[in-house]
Amino acid sequence: SQQGEEDPQALSIQEGENATMNCSYKTSINNLQWYRQNSGRGLVHLILIRSNEREKHSGRLRVTLDTSKKSSSLLITASRAADTASYFCATDSQGGSEKLVFGKGMKLTVNP
């Protein structure tokens, strides 16, 4: 069953601009993670934010979490052409089987 939903589904920006991707989910969570996928192959973990955290940074990445709105955002600052990829949010469910449920993903294109 779908838990996370990324928005927008596709985003095209110029190099140097910031990219913001949003994720909404339905049930209470313990944590939310963002992953990146290049070329339709394996995903790479970017960042994890716990349910009691509101903001987290990692390099050019900034993640926020609003549990009252059941939403998260991923901000990539000063984007580069190499950031072109699909980005997925993934959530676990409190009281569930502890597996992650991934959204459908969002395609980011950074034009040089």
Partner 1 sequence: GAGVSQSPSNKVTEKGKDVELRCDPISGHTALYWYRQSLGQGLEFLIYFQGNSAPDKSGLPSDRFSAERTGGSVSTLTIQRTQQEDSAVYLCASSLETRLAGERTDTQYFGPGTRLTVL
Verify binding: residue 112, partner 1, rule CB under 8 A. Answer: no
Which of left, alpha, beta for 51 (phi over 0: left; psi -120 to 50: alpha)? alpha
Closer to partner 1 at the Cβ: 9 or 14? Answer: 9
Contact predicate 50/107, CB 8 Å: no
Query: Tokens at residue 57, please?
Result: 């940074």
Q: How many residues bind partner 1 (CB under 8 A)?
A: 26
Question: Helix, strand, or coil here: 30?
Answer: coil
CB of 105 to partner 1, least distance (A): 5
Q: What is the binding site for partner 1 (CB under 8 A)?
A: 2, 30-31, 33, 35, 40-45, 48, 50-51, 88, 90, 92, 97-105
